[in-house]
Amino acid sequence: MIIPKTSKLNEKQLQEVEAIASDFECSILEIQGRNRCVYAILGDEGREVMFKRIAGLPFIAKVDMIESPYKLMDRRSGLSDHRVRVGKTEVGKDKPFIIAGPCTIDPANPNFYLESAHALKEAGVDALRGGVWKPRTNPYSFQGDNHSLSIILQAREETGLPIDIEVMDSEQLKLALEAKVDVVQVGTRNAQNYRLLKEIGQLTAGSNTAVLLKRGRHMASPTEFIASAEYIVAEGNPNVMLCPRGTTPPLEGYRNHPDESITPLLKNRTWAPVVVDPSHSVGHADFVPACSLAAIAYGADGLCIESHIQPAKGIGDDPKQAILPQKVKELVGACTEVWKNRYLP
Ligand code: PEP
Ligand code: MN
Protein backbone atom coordinates (compact mmCIF):
# COMPACT_ATOMS: atom_id res chain seq x y z
CA MET A 1 0.00 0.00 0.00
CA ILE A 2 1.24 3.47 -0.91
CA ILE A 3 0.97 6.35 1.53
CA PRO A 4 1.58 9.82 0.10
CA LYS A 5 3.13 12.70 2.05
CA THR A 6 0.03 14.83 1.43
CA SER A 7 -3.56 13.78 2.06
CA LYS A 8 -4.02 12.86 -1.62
CA LEU A 9 -1.89 12.51 -4.75
CA ASN A 10 -2.57 15.08 -7.45
CA GLU A 11 -3.32 13.87 -10.95
CA LYS A 12 0.25 14.18 -12.19
CA GLN A 13 1.67 12.33 -9.17
CA LEU A 14 -0.90 9.56 -9.54
CA GLN A 15 0.00 9.17 -13.21
CA GLU A 16 3.66 8.84 -12.26
CA VAL A 17 2.88 6.09 -9.76
CA GLU A 18 0.58 4.35 -12.26
CA ALA A 19 3.26 4.42 -14.91
CA ILE A 20 5.71 2.60 -12.61
CA ALA A 21 3.04 0.07 -11.58
CA SER A 22 2.13 -0.64 -15.18
CA ASP A 23 5.79 -1.44 -15.99
CA PHE A 24 5.26 -4.36 -13.59
CA GLU A 25 1.77 -5.24 -14.87
CA CYS A 26 0.16 -3.81 -11.75
CA SER A 27 -2.47 -1.12 -11.37
CA ILE A 28 -3.27 1.38 -8.64
CA LEU A 29 -6.54 1.80 -6.74
CA GLU A 30 -7.25 4.99 -4.81
CA ILE A 31 -8.99 4.38 -1.47
CA GLN A 32 -10.56 7.46 0.06
CA GLY A 33 -10.21 7.33 3.86
CA ARG A 34 -11.75 9.94 6.13
CA ASN A 35 -8.53 11.95 6.54
CA ARG A 36 -6.42 10.86 3.60
CA CYS A 37 -6.20 8.65 0.55
CA VAL A 38 -4.09 5.53 0.41
CA TYR A 39 -3.29 3.65 -2.77
CA ALA A 40 -3.45 -0.11 -3.13
CA ILE A 41 -1.26 -1.88 -5.66
CA LEU A 42 -3.31 -4.45 -7.56
CA GLY A 43 -1.51 -7.32 -9.22
CA ASP A 44 1.56 -9.29 -8.30
CA GLU A 45 3.01 -7.12 -5.59
CA GLY A 46 6.05 -9.24 -4.93
CA ARG A 47 8.29 -7.01 -7.00
CA GLU A 48 10.86 -5.29 -4.90
CA VAL A 49 12.12 -3.04 -7.66
CA MET A 50 8.65 -1.62 -8.18
CA PHE A 51 8.34 -0.87 -4.45
CA LYS A 52 11.71 0.83 -4.41
CA ARG A 53 10.91 2.98 -7.43
CA ILE A 54 7.58 4.10 -5.96
CA ALA A 55 9.04 4.65 -2.49
CA GLY A 56 11.75 6.79 -4.08
CA LEU A 57 9.29 9.34 -5.49
CA PRO A 58 9.62 12.65 -3.59
CA PHE A 59 5.90 12.89 -2.77
CA ILE A 60 5.59 9.38 -1.28
CA ALA A 61 5.83 8.98 2.52
CA LYS A 62 6.13 5.20 2.46
CA VAL A 63 5.19 2.00 0.74
CA ASP A 64 3.92 -0.59 3.20
CA MET A 65 4.62 -4.21 2.57
CA ILE A 66 2.42 -5.59 5.31
CA GLU A 67 2.48 -9.37 5.30
CA SER A 68 -1.13 -9.89 6.20
CA PRO A 69 -4.04 -11.67 4.55
CA TYR A 70 -5.90 -8.39 4.96
CA LYS A 71 -3.46 -5.60 4.18
CA LEU A 72 -5.97 -2.75 4.16
CA MET A 73 -8.01 -3.90 7.15
CA ASP A 74 -4.88 -4.53 9.19
CA ARG A 75 -4.37 -2.26 12.17
CA ARG A 76 -0.92 -1.46 10.86
CA SER A 77 -2.23 -0.28 7.49
CA GLY A 78 -2.33 3.30 6.27
CA LEU A 79 -6.08 3.26 6.97
CA SER A 80 -5.57 2.76 10.71
CA ASP A 81 -6.74 6.32 11.40
CA HIS A 82 -9.84 5.89 9.23
CA ARG A 83 -13.08 6.47 11.09
CA VAL A 84 -16.43 5.18 9.84
CA ARG A 85 -19.36 7.58 9.84
CA VAL A 86 -23.01 6.83 9.43
CA GLY A 87 -24.87 10.01 8.51
CA LYS A 88 -23.18 12.65 10.66
CA THR A 89 -22.15 10.30 13.47
CA GLU A 90 -18.70 8.82 13.84
CA VAL A 91 -19.17 5.22 14.91
CA GLY A 92 -17.78 4.48 18.35
CA LYS A 93 -16.53 7.97 19.13
CA ASP A 94 -18.07 9.10 22.40
CA LYS A 95 -20.76 6.52 23.07
CA PRO A 96 -22.07 3.23 21.69
CA PHE A 97 -23.50 3.55 18.19
CA ILE A 98 -26.97 2.01 18.27
CA ILE A 99 -28.82 0.72 15.21
CA ALA A 100 -32.30 -0.59 16.03
CA GLY A 101 -35.56 -1.50 14.35
CA PRO A 102 -37.78 -4.38 13.37
CA CYS A 103 -36.30 -7.49 11.81
CA THR A 104 -38.72 -7.35 8.92
CA ILE A 105 -40.85 -4.51 7.58
CA ASP A 106 -44.44 -5.64 7.16
CA PRO A 107 -45.60 -4.08 3.88
CA ALA A 108 -49.24 -4.72 4.81
CA ASN A 109 -48.91 -2.72 8.06
CA PRO A 110 -46.52 0.18 7.43
CA ASN A 111 -47.62 1.89 10.63
CA PHE A 112 -45.92 -0.74 12.78
CA TYR A 113 -42.64 0.19 11.16
CA LEU A 114 -43.23 3.93 11.25
CA GLU A 115 -44.37 3.95 14.87
CA SER A 116 -41.43 1.76 15.87
CA ALA A 117 -39.10 4.19 14.08
CA HIS A 118 -40.49 7.22 15.94
CA ALA A 119 -40.34 5.42 19.30
CA LEU A 120 -36.72 4.42 18.59
CA LYS A 121 -35.80 7.95 17.68
CA GLU A 122 -37.25 8.98 21.03
CA ALA A 123 -35.22 6.18 22.65
CA GLY A 124 -32.02 7.83 21.39
CA VAL A 125 -30.84 5.42 18.70
CA ASP A 126 -28.41 6.55 15.99
CA ALA A 127 -29.82 4.63 13.00
CA LEU A 128 -32.81 2.53 11.98
CA ARG A 129 -32.69 -1.02 10.67
CA GLY A 130 -35.45 -2.86 8.84
CA GLY A 131 -35.55 -5.88 6.55
CA VAL A 132 -36.91 -5.08 3.09
CA TRP A 133 -35.73 -8.34 1.49
CA LYS A 134 -35.24 -11.30 3.81
CA PRO A 135 -32.94 -14.31 3.62
CA ARG A 136 -35.22 -17.03 5.00
CA THR A 137 -34.17 -20.56 5.79
CA ASN A 138 -37.61 -21.79 4.80
CA PRO A 139 -38.35 -21.00 1.14
CA TYR A 140 -42.08 -20.74 1.95
CA SER A 141 -41.58 -18.02 4.58
CA PHE A 142 -42.16 -14.35 3.71
CA GLN A 143 -39.23 -13.23 1.54
CA GLY A 144 -39.68 -9.47 1.76
CA ASP A 145 -41.19 -6.97 -0.63
CA ASN A 146 -39.89 -4.06 -2.75
CA HIS A 147 -42.66 -1.88 -1.32
CA SER A 148 -40.99 -2.05 2.10
CA LEU A 149 -38.18 0.09 0.73
CA SER A 150 -40.52 3.06 0.44
CA ILE A 151 -41.68 2.49 4.03
CA ILE A 152 -38.16 2.67 5.48
CA LEU A 153 -37.42 5.69 3.27
CA GLN A 154 -40.48 7.37 4.72
CA ALA A 155 -39.21 6.54 8.22
CA ARG A 156 -35.87 8.19 7.39
CA GLU A 157 -37.65 11.22 6.04
CA GLU A 158 -39.86 11.55 9.13
CA THR A 159 -37.22 10.84 11.79
CA GLY A 160 -34.07 12.16 10.12
CA LEU A 161 -32.26 8.95 11.16
CA PRO A 162 -29.95 7.08 8.78
CA ILE A 163 -31.18 3.67 7.60
CA ASP A 164 -29.65 0.20 7.31
CA ILE A 165 -31.02 -2.52 5.02
CA GLU A 166 -29.74 -5.93 3.98
CA VAL A 167 -29.10 -6.70 0.32
CA MET A 168 -28.59 -10.20 -1.04
CA ASP A 169 -27.90 -9.65 -4.72
CA SER A 170 -26.97 -7.13 -7.37
CA GLU A 171 -30.49 -6.05 -8.12
CA GLN A 172 -31.29 -5.30 -4.47
CA LEU A 173 -27.97 -3.53 -4.09
CA LYS A 174 -28.74 -1.23 -7.01
CA LEU A 175 -32.21 -0.41 -5.67
CA ALA A 176 -30.74 0.30 -2.23
CA LEU A 177 -28.05 2.57 -3.64
CA GLU A 178 -30.52 4.41 -5.88
CA ALA A 179 -32.49 5.08 -2.70
CA LYS A 180 -29.24 6.32 -1.10
CA VAL A 181 -29.50 4.07 1.94
CA ASP A 182 -26.91 5.00 4.54
CA VAL A 183 -25.85 1.47 5.51
CA VAL A 184 -25.86 -1.60 3.29
CA GLN A 185 -26.03 -4.75 5.39
CA VAL A 186 -24.46 -8.03 4.30
CA GLY A 187 -26.11 -10.88 6.17
CA THR A 188 -24.43 -13.90 7.65
CA ARG A 189 -25.48 -16.07 4.72
CA ASN A 190 -23.66 -13.81 2.25
CA ALA A 191 -20.71 -13.05 4.49
CA GLN A 192 -18.44 -14.97 2.15
CA ASN A 193 -20.19 -14.23 -1.11
CA TYR A 194 -17.09 -12.63 -2.55
CA ARG A 195 -18.70 -11.49 -5.79
CA LEU A 196 -21.37 -9.62 -3.85
CA LEU A 197 -18.78 -8.14 -1.49
CA LYS A 198 -16.71 -6.94 -4.45
CA GLU A 199 -19.71 -5.46 -6.17
CA ILE A 200 -20.69 -3.60 -3.01
CA GLY A 201 -17.14 -2.24 -2.78
CA GLN A 202 -17.16 -1.18 -6.43
CA LEU A 203 -20.57 0.50 -6.41
CA THR A 204 -19.96 2.33 -3.13
CA ALA A 205 -16.29 3.27 -3.74
CA GLY A 206 -15.60 6.87 -2.83
CA SER A 207 -19.11 7.35 -1.38
CA ASN A 208 -20.27 7.80 2.21
CA THR A 209 -22.26 4.58 2.16
CA ALA A 210 -21.30 2.36 5.09
CA VAL A 211 -21.43 -1.43 5.08
CA LEU A 212 -22.47 -3.56 8.07
CA LEU A 213 -20.82 -6.92 7.45
CA LYS A 214 -22.13 -9.81 9.55
CA ARG A 215 -19.88 -12.68 10.59
CA GLY A 216 -20.36 -15.96 8.70
CA ARG A 217 -22.51 -18.12 10.95
CA HIS A 218 -20.43 -21.26 10.45
CA MET A 219 -17.88 -19.93 12.91
CA ALA A 220 -15.98 -17.83 10.37
CA SER A 221 -12.58 -17.36 11.97
CA PRO A 222 -11.41 -13.81 12.72
CA THR A 223 -9.13 -14.07 9.68
CA GLU A 224 -11.97 -15.13 7.37
CA PHE A 225 -14.24 -12.45 8.81
CA ILE A 226 -11.72 -9.65 8.32
CA ALA A 227 -10.75 -10.97 4.88
CA SER A 228 -14.40 -10.66 3.80
CA ALA A 229 -14.29 -7.00 4.80
CA GLU A 230 -11.03 -6.65 2.87
CA TYR A 231 -12.94 -7.51 -0.33
CA ILE A 232 -15.09 -4.42 0.15
CA VAL A 233 -12.26 -2.11 1.18
CA ALA A 234 -10.00 -3.32 -1.64
CA GLU A 235 -12.62 -2.14 -4.13
CA GLY A 236 -12.48 1.36 -2.70
CA ASN A 237 -14.88 1.63 0.25
CA PRO A 238 -13.27 1.64 3.71
CA ASN A 239 -16.54 2.39 5.55
CA VAL A 240 -16.97 -1.11 6.89
CA MET A 241 -18.32 -2.19 10.30
CA LEU A 242 -17.80 -5.75 11.52
CA CYS A 243 -20.85 -7.40 13.06
CA PRO A 244 -20.55 -10.56 15.18
CA ARG A 245 -24.04 -12.09 15.35
CA GLY A 246 -23.59 -15.55 16.86
CA THR A 247 -22.46 -18.76 15.22
CA THR A 248 -23.80 -22.22 14.72
CA PRO A 249 -24.09 -24.82 16.26
CA PRO A 250 -26.09 -22.94 18.89
CA LEU A 251 -25.53 -23.01 22.59
CA GLU A 252 -28.52 -25.00 23.76
CA GLY A 253 -31.31 -22.58 24.61
CA TYR A 254 -29.92 -19.74 22.52
CA ARG A 255 -30.52 -19.24 18.80
CA ASN A 256 -26.79 -19.27 18.05
CA HIS A 257 -23.57 -19.46 19.99
CA PRO A 258 -23.08 -15.90 21.27
CA ASP A 259 -19.80 -14.45 20.00
CA GLU A 260 -19.53 -10.94 21.38
CA SER A 261 -16.31 -12.16 23.02
CA ILE A 262 -14.65 -12.09 19.59
CA THR A 263 -14.68 -8.27 19.78
CA PRO A 264 -11.29 -7.69 21.47
CA LEU A 265 -9.68 -10.09 19.01
CA LEU A 266 -11.09 -8.21 16.03
CA LYS A 267 -10.10 -4.86 17.48
CA ASN A 268 -6.63 -6.14 18.12
CA ARG A 269 -6.20 -7.01 14.44
CA THR A 270 -8.09 -4.33 12.58
CA TRP A 271 -9.03 -0.66 12.84
CA ALA A 272 -12.65 -1.30 11.76
CA PRO A 273 -15.44 -0.61 14.25
CA VAL A 274 -17.25 -3.62 15.74
CA VAL A 275 -21.05 -3.42 15.99
CA VAL A 276 -22.46 -6.51 17.70
CA ASP A 277 -25.90 -7.96 16.91
CA PRO A 278 -27.20 -9.43 20.19
CA SER A 279 -30.64 -10.22 18.75
CA HIS A 280 -29.63 -12.96 16.32
CA SER A 281 -26.94 -14.12 18.71
CA VAL A 282 -29.23 -15.16 21.57
CA GLY A 283 -32.52 -15.07 19.67
CA HIS A 284 -34.85 -14.35 22.61
CA ALA A 285 -35.99 -10.90 23.67
CA ASP A 286 -35.36 -11.67 27.36
CA PHE A 287 -31.67 -12.37 26.80
CA VAL A 288 -30.93 -9.46 24.43
CA PRO A 289 -30.20 -6.81 27.13
CA ALA A 290 -27.53 -8.90 28.91
CA CYS A 291 -25.88 -9.76 25.59
CA SER A 292 -25.89 -6.07 24.62
CA LEU A 293 -24.18 -5.02 27.84
CA ALA A 294 -21.65 -7.83 27.50
CA ALA A 295 -20.80 -6.69 23.96
CA ILE A 296 -20.10 -3.15 25.13
CA ALA A 297 -18.02 -4.47 28.04
CA TYR A 298 -15.99 -6.45 25.50
CA GLY A 299 -15.20 -3.19 23.71
CA ALA A 300 -17.80 -3.13 20.93
CA ASP A 301 -18.31 0.26 19.27
CA GLY A 302 -22.01 -0.30 18.85
CA LEU A 303 -24.99 -2.63 18.63
CA CYS A 304 -27.56 -3.64 16.04
CA ILE A 305 -30.74 -4.58 17.92
CA GLU A 306 -34.12 -5.80 16.71
CA SER A 307 -36.91 -3.74 18.22
CA HIS A 308 -40.62 -3.45 17.45
CA ILE A 309 -43.41 -1.43 18.99
CA GLN A 310 -45.60 -4.56 19.27
CA PRO A 311 -43.34 -7.60 18.84
CA ALA A 312 -46.22 -10.08 18.98
CA LYS A 313 -47.73 -8.46 15.89
CA GLY A 314 -44.45 -8.36 13.99
CA ILE A 315 -43.26 -10.73 11.28
CA GLY A 316 -39.91 -12.47 10.65
CA ASP A 317 -37.92 -12.69 13.89
CA ASP A 318 -39.82 -9.96 15.67
CA PRO A 319 -42.31 -12.03 17.72
CA LYS A 320 -39.50 -13.95 19.38
CA GLN A 321 -36.55 -11.61 19.61
CA ALA A 322 -37.56 -7.97 19.18
CA ILE A 323 -37.43 -5.87 22.33
CA LEU A 324 -39.66 -2.86 22.98
CA PRO A 325 -38.33 0.61 22.11
CA GLN A 326 -38.68 1.47 25.82
CA LYS A 327 -36.19 -1.34 26.59
CA VAL A 328 -33.87 0.05 23.92
CA LYS A 329 -34.07 3.41 25.68
CA GLU A 330 -33.03 1.81 28.98
CA LEU A 331 -30.24 -0.04 27.18
CA VAL A 332 -28.90 3.14 25.56
CA GLY A 333 -28.42 4.53 29.09
CA ALA A 334 -27.07 1.32 30.61
CA CYS A 335 -24.68 0.69 27.71
CA THR A 336 -23.36 4.24 27.93
CA GLU A 337 -22.54 3.61 31.62
CA VAL A 338 -20.72 0.35 30.79
CA TRP A 339 -18.96 2.17 27.93
CA LYS A 340 -17.52 4.71 30.37
CA ASN A 341 -16.16 1.96 32.62
CA ARG A 342 -15.07 -0.58 30.03
CA TYR A 343 -11.55 -1.88 30.06
CA LEU A 344 -9.72 -1.39 26.79
CA PRO A 345 -6.29 -3.01 26.40
C1 PEP B 1 -31.16 -9.71 10.04
O2 PEP B 1 -30.39 -8.81 10.44
O3 PEP B 1 -32.39 -9.64 10.11
C4 PEP B 1 -30.56 -10.97 9.56
C5 PEP B 1 -31.20 -11.78 8.72
O6 PEP B 1 -29.34 -11.16 10.07
P7 PEP B 1 -28.31 -12.38 9.90
O8 PEP B 1 -27.79 -12.26 8.51
O9 PEP B 1 -27.27 -12.09 10.95
O10 PEP B 1 -29.07 -13.66 10.15
MN1 MN C 1 -33.85 -10.87 11.98
Ligand 1 pocket, mutate which of 141, 168, 277, 306 (most atoms under 8 A from CB): 277
As a whole number, mean pLDDT of residues 183-190 equals 98
Instruction: Return the pLDDT at 256.
Output: 98
Q: Is 328 in the pocket of ligand 1 (CB under 6 A)?
A: no
Cβ-based neighbour number of residue 253 at 10 Å? 9
Least confident segment among 48-52, 100-104, 234-238, 240-244: 48-52
Relative to the CA of 190, which ligand 1 atom is closest? 8
Give 60-80 pLDDT, tens digit per residue.
999 987 778 899 999 999 899
**Cα 26 to ligand 1 centre (Å):** 38
Judged against a pLDDT cut of 70, whether residue 45 lies above it is answered with: no
Q: Is 214 in the pocket of ligand 1 (CB under 6 A)?
A: yes
Closest listed residue to residue 101, CA positions, set 43, 151, 38: 151
SS3 221: coil
246: pLDDT confidence band, cut at 50, 70 and 90? very high
Judged against a pLDDT cut of 90, whether residue 92 lies above it is answered with: yes
Q: In this structure, which ligand is nearest to the CA of 191?
A: 1
Which residue has its alpha carbon closest to ligand 1 atom 8? 187
Judged against a pLDDT cut of 80, whether residue 344 lies above it is answered with: yes
The per-type count for the chain, helices as H runs and strands as E runs, is 12, 14
Q: Is 280 in the pocket of ligand 1 (CB under 6 A)?
A: yes
154 by Cβ neighbours in 10 Å (0-12 / 13-18 / 19+) ranks as: middle
Q: Is 246 in the pocket of ligand 1 (CB under 6 A)?
A: no
Ligand 1 pocket, mutate which of 129, 213, 214, 243 (most atoms under 8 A from CB): 214
Residue 123 near residue 305 (C-beta atoms within 8 A): no
Least confident segment among 26-35, 86-95, 143-152: 26-35
17: pLDDT confidence band, cut at 50, 70 and 90? very high
Instruction: Return the pLDDT at 46.
Output: 67
179: pLDDT confidence band, cut at 50, 70 and 90? very high
Residue 126 near residue 164 (C-beta atoms within 8 A): no
Q: Is 121 in the pocket of ligand 1 (CB under 6 A)?
A: no
Calculate helix-pair angle for 11-23, 48-55, nearest 10 degrees.
160
As a whole number, mean pLDDT of residues 245-271 equals 98
Which percentage of the chain shows pLDDT scores above 70?
99
As a whole number, mean pLDDT of residues 247-272 equals 98
What's this model's pTM, rounded to 2 decimal places? Answer: 0.94
* Angle at 195 (CA atoms; ends 32, 1), nearest 5 degrees: 35
